[in-house]
Structure 1
C-alpha cells in the first residue's frame, strides 16, 4: 500500500522486491480513489482498512504481513489496530500515527490539479509539459510536480487525473491525521524512515500509538 495521490498505487513499489515475491505470496494494493481501484466519495482510514480486510477475506488470507508507505502506512496501522488478529507483522515506511503535513499545503496542490486544463489530441509528453507549466506557480518543486503528474492519464482521447480529487479534497483532514484507538497493536511493528524525514520521528512515535 502506498502514499497519497501519486504513490498510493501498486506501480510504485520497488522492482527489486522480486526476492520477497519468490519467498511469499505478495499483493500490491491500489487504495480506493487511486490507481486502478474504484472511486468512492468516502476516503477515511477506516474505509480503506475495510477495503483491505475485504480483499483478505475474498482471498482466504487469515494472517498477513502488512507493508505500507505514507497513506498506505496509516491504512496498515488502522487495520492492525482494528483487526490485530489479521496482522502477523506491521511495517510502516516513512510515516507514523500522528498528524503529517499541514492540510492547507496539500489542499493547495489539489486545487492546482483541479485547475489544470489539457486539450485533447496532444501527445503524452506535450500534455505532461502543459500540465507541469500550469502546476508550477503553486507546486514549486519540480520533483513534486513530476510525482503528481504520474496521475495524468489519457482516457478516450482526453487527459484526466487518475485519482479522485474531489473525494481526497473532502477528506484531506482525515488523511492528514489519524483515527483514535483505545488499545495498542500487540504485534511486532517496524517503522522505517530517513533521518531527515518530516513524517516520522523517534520522539513522536511511541508503542502506545500503534
Structure 2
C-alpha cells in the first residue's frame, strides 16, 4: 500500500507543488504558498522523514521524487509547476528529469544539480545531542544546540521542528534516517536525461550554493533554463526577501 506524504492545499486554478529543503517542513514555504494561492491551486508537501510525513529508512532522490509523483496521482494532478528549495529543488529536478510529463514548469531555489561536500555534520551532531528525557523547554534545546551551531538564525529554523505534546518535547524530523542517508542527500541526479521544459533557477546573491562553475551542468540538464539573482539574500532567499522571490516566481509563471 502506497504511503502518501503529508500535504496541504490552498487556492484554485492550475497546479503548483512546493517542496521544502533539508530539516524543513511545508510551513517554511508558507509565504510563497499564500501569494500563489491567489491565482493557483497550491499543494505544499512535507518530505519523508520531515514534518508530519511518514518516516522511512530509504531517502534518496529517485525515491523522494516518486513520493511527489504518488501525491500527484493521489490528487489526480496530471502535471504541475514544481517549485523546490535546496534539497526540495533537487527532488523537483529529479522528478523533471525522470518523469518530465508531470512537470509543466520547474522552479529551483538556490541549489544546483551537482554533488555537494558534506556541510551539515555539526547540525546533525547537534540535533542528535538533544535528549528530551532531560530537555523540557525550548530555551534548553536552543542552549544545547548552540554548542554545535553558533548561528542563531539557523538554530531558530531547526527548532521550528520541535513539537510539544503535553509538555513532552520531541523533534518531528527523523534525525537517524536523515543522518544515515546524508551521503545520498548530498548527491545529485545520476542519469543521462535532460528536461526540455521551461526552468527557472533562483539564486540568493550571498549564497554559494549556485556558482558560475555549475553553469555548464545546469544548461546540459536544463537547456531551457534561465536564472534570477535575489539581491541581498542568502540561502533562505524565500524567507529573507519574500516579495522579491515571489515577484520572480510570478514573472516566470506568466511569461
The equivalent of 1:95 in structure 2 is 111
Cα distance in structure 2, aligned partners of 1:84 and 1:157: 46
> What SS is found at the alignment partner of 1:183?
coil
Cα distance in structure 2, aligned partners of 1:181 and 1:68: 20
Q: Do the aligned partners of residues 121 and 82 (structure 1) sit closer, same or farther apart at CA in structure 2, a change above 3 Å counting?
A: closer
Q: Conserved in 1, the CA contact under 8 Å of 2:81 and 2:106?
A: yes
Cα distance in structure 1, aligned partners of 2:156 and 2:135: 21
Q: Conserved in 1, the CA contact under 8 Å of 2:135 and 2:141?
A: no
Q: Which consecutive residues of structure 2, in runs of 5 or more, have no partner in the other structure?
A: 1-18, 223-255
> What SS is found at the alignment partner of 2:84?
strand
* Deviation at residue 17 of structure 1 after TM alignment: 4.2
Cα RMSD over matched residues?
1.7
Q: Conserved in 1, the CA contact under 8 Å of 2:33 and 2:42?
A: no
The equivalent of 1:65 in structure 2 is 81
Q: Do the aligned partners of residues 129 and 19 (structure 1) sit closer, same or farther apart at CA in structure 2, a change above 3 Å counting?
A: closer
Q: Determine whether 1:177 maps to 2:187.
A: yes
Q: Do the aligned partners of residues 79 and 67 (structure 1) sit closer, same or farther apart at CA in structure 2, a change above 3 Å counting?
A: same
CA deviations over 1:108-164 (Å, ceiling 9, x no partner): 211221111244794xxxx11101111112111111111111111123532111001
TM-score by length of 2: 0.74
Figure out how many residues of one structure are paired with residues of the other and give that number. 202
CA deviations over 1:140-193 (Å, ceiling 9, x no partner): 111111111111112353211100101100110111121312011111110001
The equivalent of 1:108 in structure 2 is 122
Cα distance in structure 1, aligned partners of 2:212 and 2:199: 14
Question: Could you say which structure has the higher strand fraction?
Answer: 2
TM-score by length of 1: 0.90
Q: Which consecutive residues of structure 1, in runs of 5 or more, have no partner in the other structure?
A: none
Q: Conserved in 1, the CA contact under 8 Å of 2:60 and 2:185?
A: yes
